[in-house]
Amino acid sequence: MDPRRFDSLAKRLGTRLSRRQALGAGAGLALVSVPVATAGRARAQEREPIALGRVVSVHSYPFYGTIDAASESLAELVTLLEEQPGFLSVDFVEGDEEIHIVTAFFDADAWAEADALLHEWVEENAQDVLPDSPSAFEGAVFLRSDLQTECGCSPDDDDSCGSDRLVCCPTSEDEERGICLTAATTCPGDAGDDLPEETPSETSEVVSEPMVAADTPTEVPSCTGAGCSCTPGIDGACDAGLECCSSTGTCSSSCPCGSEGCFCIASEVNTCDSWLVCCGPSEIGGAGTCQYACTCTGEGCACTVGVDGNCDAGLHCCGIVSSSPGSIGACLTVCSDTSGPCPGAEGCECAPGTLWECDPGLICCGATGGDSGICELSC
């Protein structure tokens, strides 16, 4: 695709679809005459794969070594699981005499493939630390919290987290960036911010205990080597020469680019950091950039199916070409049971020479100089 044409298309999709296109994307509802009951069912079907379709598993391996040794030996497993389709999260939990590996995947099929790979990798690469067979169980998630904790936020914005139940805690000294934590949580480093200042007096000049306590260094994490879990933005979270990768939450010598402004691809797995979304892809496999929030999240705005935060509350990201995760869609109140008419139908976005061609008999109006246009009967 011509770079200028793609930039123009991405820009238009990243701001707002035309009113005619938004109506066209929802036209499938009128064509199939969806009644109220069916509309409710369609809404539930749209939310279910995103909110409840995930599968969580726990593998408990007997373990009698040191956690530092386990962290070093199992670090590659973190990266391997992250590369699998449908990956959501992985945590290694220290037990009394075992290590619990807790994974979450988008659906049962994705979990099954990754689970087999996990067992194979441990047998071939981690017999020195996990020589015994694990006990394991897994199940589909049926209820979970909707609070978007650990999402990126701006401490200067009073409503950066989008909920009164969340607070934006700074993660850098300049306080330009932060992460959303529950309002009941005390932000790291804030515990002593509200203590009253003591005024010096002539009779207590030698009493200096408060100053000594204030100079006491904060507790250093017990594990700071490669592969250790860490909190991004916290000083001393990793050893010298390592950095805390926000996309994995582990210490590494190099982090994959998933931060704001990084290149990303529209796919089933969000290639951006956990609190960012891939904005601007025009099709499955399309290129975009990682942003804290896409420019437009209201009704009719472009979105990526399966990525949380694409649309405002009460709206769903309805796939235009397909309802599969990673597909381009539009933010609508109700999704049709069938695919929408775009691309190709009258009122749809178009770009000659790309996937977004108009149907026979229609003209891509306005697509001049590499810009995208709208499919019309006549210009």
Q: What one-character-per-residue DSSP string does 272-330 give?
A: S-TT-EEE---STT-EEEEESS-S--STT-EEETT-TTSS-TT-EEEESS--STT-EEE
**Residue 20 pLDDT:** 36
Would 343 be classed as within a structural domain? Answer: no
- Which tops the pLDDT comparison, 296 or 76? 76
User: Is residue 79 located within the same domain as residue 118?
Assistant: yes
- Which tops the pLDDT comparison, 312 or 354? 312
Would 166 be classed as within a structural domain? Answer: no
User: How far apart are alpha carbons 134 and 97 in whole angstroms?
Assistant: 12
- Let me know the angle formed at the C-alpha of 224 by 222 and 225, rounded to the nearest 5 degrees: 130
Spell out the residues 6+ positions from residue 211 whose beta carbon is closer than 8 angstroms to its own.
none
Would 330 be classed as within a structural domain? Answer: yes
User: Is residue 35 located within the same domain as residue 10?
Assistant: yes
CB atoms near residue 281 (< 10 Å): 25
Asked whether the predicted pLDDT for residue 322 surpasses 70, the reply is: no
Would 199 be classed as within a structural domain? Answer: no
Reported as a pLDDT band with limits 50, 70 and 90, residue 99 is: very high
Domain count, the chain: 2
Give the mean pLDDT of 55-72: 89
User: Is residue 35 located within the same domain as residue 102?
Assistant: no
Asked whether the predicted pLDDT for residue 247 surpasses 60, the reply is: no
**Residue 190 pLDDT:** 57
* Least reliable range by pLDDT among 70-74, 124-128, 178-182: 178-182
List pLDDT tens digits, range 166-221. Answer: 888 887 666 677 788 887 877 765 544 444 444 444 444 444 444 444 444 445 56
Would 249 be classed as within a structural domain? Answer: no
User: Is residue 25 located within the same domain as residue 62?
Assistant: no
**Residue 238 pLDDT:** 87
Share of the chain above pLDDT 90, in %: 7
Asked whether the predicted pLDDT for residue 263 surpasses 90, the reply is: no
**Residue 351 pLDDT:** 72
Asked whether the predicted pLDDT for residue 377 surpasses 60, the reply is: yes
User: Is residue 100 located within the same domain as residue 28?
Assistant: no
Would 146 be classed as within a structural domain? Answer: no
Give the mean pLDDT of 216-241: 73
Alpha helix (H) ranges present in the chain?
3-15, 19-25, 27-32, 36-51, 67-82, 108-125, 209-214
Give the mean pLDDT of 338-351: 65
CB atoms near residue 134 (< 10 Å): 18
Domain limits at 274? 3-50+261-336
User: Is residue 24 located within the same domain as residue 91?
Assistant: no
- Which tops the pLDDT comparison, 29 or 154? 154
User: How far apart are alpha carbons 350 and 13 in whole angstroms?
Assistant: 11
CATH code of the domain covering residue 71: 3.30.70.100
List for the chain the helix, strand, coil content (%; round to 5).
Answer: 20, 20, 55
**Residue 280 pLDDT:** 64
Tell me which amino acid residue 52 is: L
Domain final residue, candidates 113, 140, 167: 140
Would 12 be classed as within a structural domain? Answer: yes
**Residue 136 pLDDT:** 87
Reduced to 3 states (helix: H, G, I; strand: E, B; else coil), residue 250 is: strand
User: Is residue 33 located within the same domain as residue 63?
Assistant: no
Closest C-alpha among 95, 144, 151 to residue 272: 151
> Mean pLDDT, the chain, as a whole number?
69
Domain final residue, candidates 86, 115, 140: 140
User: Is residue 283 located within the same domain as residue 268?
Assistant: yes
User: Is residue 74 located within the same domain as residue 113?
Assistant: yes
Domain final residue, candidates 115, 140, 165: 140
Asked whether the predicted pLDDT for residue 30 surpasses 50, the reply is: no
List pLDDT tens digits, range 296-308. Answer: 677 767 677 777 7
Cα–Cα separations (whole angstroms), residue 250 to 254, 261, 340? 11, 21, 41
Give the mean pLDDT of 325-339: 66
Asked whether the predicted pLDDT for residue 359 surpasses 70, the reply is: yes
User: Is residue 34 located within the same domain as residue 63?
Assistant: no
Would 8 be classed as within a structural domain? Answer: yes
List pLDDT tens digits, range 134-174. Answer: 998 888 777 777 666 777 778 877 777 777 788 888 876 66
- Which tops the pLDDT comparison, 275 or 168? 168
Structure token pair of residue 167: 């607070």
Query: CA Rg, the chain, in Å?
Result: 25
User: Is residue 45 located within the same domain as residue 63?
Assistant: no
Structure token pair of residue 159: 């409503």
Give the mean pLDDT of 95-117: 88
User: Is residue 273 located within the same domain as residue 301?
Assistant: yes
Share of the chain above pLDDT 70, in %: 57
* Least reliable range by pLDDT among 62-66, 83-87, 253-257, 266-270: 266-270
